[in-house]
Structure 1
Amino acid sequence: MLWGKKVLQVSAVLAVAFGAAHTAEHLKAPAAQHSLLLTAAGAAREPRAASVPSENPAVPDSASLSTPADPGLGQVTGITTVAAAAPGSAGDGCQAQLSLVPLPGAMIEASLIAPCNRGERFVVRHSGLSFSAQTKADGMATVMLPALRPDAMVAVYLQDSRLVLGRVTVPDAASYARYAISWDSPVEMELRVIDGDKVLIGSSAVSGLEQGVMALGHSNLPSPVLARVYSVPGKDLGKADITGELRITPATCGRTLRVETAQSSGGVASTTEQIIAVPLCGTAGDILVLKNLAPGLKLAAPK
């Protein structure tokens, strides 16, 4: 009898223990399931590692004429009537500003403020005209350029992939005929214009009020982009003989080079890419003459 009671007591204890264990496992299951749901929800909220294409592709640092992905010199559209820049975050202390002012003689004064681009190279582009300049130690710079069209759009390329755009109206641009040629390193070129008894070459001191060839760009900068612009009052270039003189150097001999030309008449501008095949090496120091640049590129033997 005593032995039977002990068996019953042991059975009862085992039953209670089994029931408690089952209950505990039953209670644990929802908690584990809840934990998994939280983990899945958290994973859904986590940013994915896959890259997302930028809405504002970077501008090439060099902004040179030889950039393969170059969208075109000065052919920018959708610019507002006020100076604008690539979108930046709120409180962006590096926001660059560009202001454009029309000057007599169909000239444009471009003033750049770039606080985070002090003493750096930048490139100015306008309707096929392109040249490089440099900001001062305070990040400011002022350059003058001839307007090739009355509705003038100007783009400034900075070194940190920032693009600053501006637009200004220059009514006098329709009263001038202009021819511009732009090139980048290692090309060494000069533009020569013969008009009657006048022989004109590039000069940085030429005013837009008179006939002449304006030199733009700084050759002492890294990856310089240089330009020459011939201006004459009137609706066309007249009978001027426009000639390019390309110096053959060890860096250019035997190469195919590219230069950009732009022509403006009556306020209408057009742009052309010129391809130049430089003679093989061994003629370094000679000059390749590019004849009649305005109507079409013709080559003459080195002299």
Structure 2
Amino acid sequence: MSAVLAVAVGAAHTAETLKAPAAEHSLLLTAAEAARDERPADRVAAAIPESASLSTPSDAGFARVTGITSVAAEASAPVTEGCEAQLTLATLPGAMIEARLIAPCNRGERFVVRHSGLSFSAQTKADGQASVVLPALRSDAMVAVYLEDSRLVLGRVDVPDAASYARYAISWASPLEMELRVTDGDRVLIGSPSLSGTEQGVLALGQANLPSPVLARVYSVPGKDLGTADITGELLITPATCGRTLRVETVHSASGIATTTEQTVAVPLCGTAGDILVLKNLAPGLKLAAPK
């Protein structure tokens, strides 16, 4: 099923509210404790648009909107005729979403996709079109595309199969360099650029070769919870990140409901560049019971 929603003009402050509760458990091994100094946190997610998780529409009737509407508080300038952008969403097997963007005046440009706290960057082709596939984190899926000229395109689609998968997503922005590693018995899974969605695996999202890249990894497994797999993050310590307190955004999805959390990562002081910091306790410890 496809749904095409609105093109919004102007700066992108959407109807969502950014959720950033404090982390409920430490992400770090003891090697990073020395880096917890008094310096203010660096906002590594600056390349990610400041919007909320798109998980809770502010208007209960939003799903019935099929025309064009503005979601910006003020329109700084009208959209040039012929430059209207369009977003079409369709469901794929395995609770996946195909998002097709047509932006005729944004050719070869970077854009950012957000869905329920998941963020990643991509690029339009020379004709202004792009197609990306992402895992649905909610049964009532909303997707936002942020264009370089501060325009926002929204779409919504129902994905009933999302309730049949448990997923864990993590997003970060440059200069962070990370990888998500999942160990399940004798299987070790890391990010892959393609995943059918019907199998257990880690999907890599985002283009690292873009300016200010925003990258993500999504671990997906059929079922009601994440099982007993050990989910860890591996952060490369570099001169651009050492001694800084950085942020990542994580999403836990189960039974078609997504919970978003912003968590801080204290990177060890400079002098350890080239080492890898292991982030632990990434997966929620609580197993969700199956609905009766």
Which TM-score applies when normalising by structure 2? 0.77
The structure that is helix-richer by fraction is: 1
- Tell me whether 1:65 sits opposite 2:54 in the alignment: no
Following TM superposition, by how much is the alpha carbon of 1:294 offset from its aligned partner in structure 2, in angstroms? 1.2
What does 1:48-127 align with in structure 2 at a 5 Å threshold? 58-59=11-12, 65-66=45-46, 70-75=50-55, 77=57, 78=59, 79-80=62-63, 81-82=65-66, 84=68, 86=70, 89=78, 92-127=81-116
Residue matched to 2:232: 243
Contact 1:74–1:129 (Cα < 8 Å) also in 2? no
Which ranges in structure 2 are unaligned for 5 or more consecutive residues?
1-7, 14-43, 286-292
- Kindly report the root-mean-square deviation, in angstroms, between the aligned alpha carbons of the 2 structures: 2.3
Residues 61-106 of structure 1: per-residue CA shift (max 9 Å, x gap): xxx8336982323346244444856478587311100000000000
Quick one: distance in 1 between partners of 2:50 and 2:101?
22
Q: What secondary structure sits across from 2:190 in the alignment?
A: strand
CA contact (8 A) 1:248 1:287 kept: yes
Query: What's the TM-score, normalizing by structure 1?
Result: 0.74
Alignment of 1:112-151 (within 5 A): 112-151=101-140
Alignment map for 1:1-303 (pairs within 5 Å):
58-59=11-12, 65-66=45-46, 70-75=50-55, 77=57, 78=59, 79-80=62-63, 81-82=65-66, 84=68, 86=70, 89=78, 92-295=81-284
Question: Where do 5+ consecutive residues of structure 1 fail to align?
Answer: 1-54, 297-303
Higher RCO by CA contacts (8 Å cutoff, separation 6 or greater): 2
Cα pair distance change 1:83/1:146, threshold 3 Å: farther
Structure with greater Cα Rg: 1
Matched to 1:260, the amino acid is E
Partner of 2:22: none
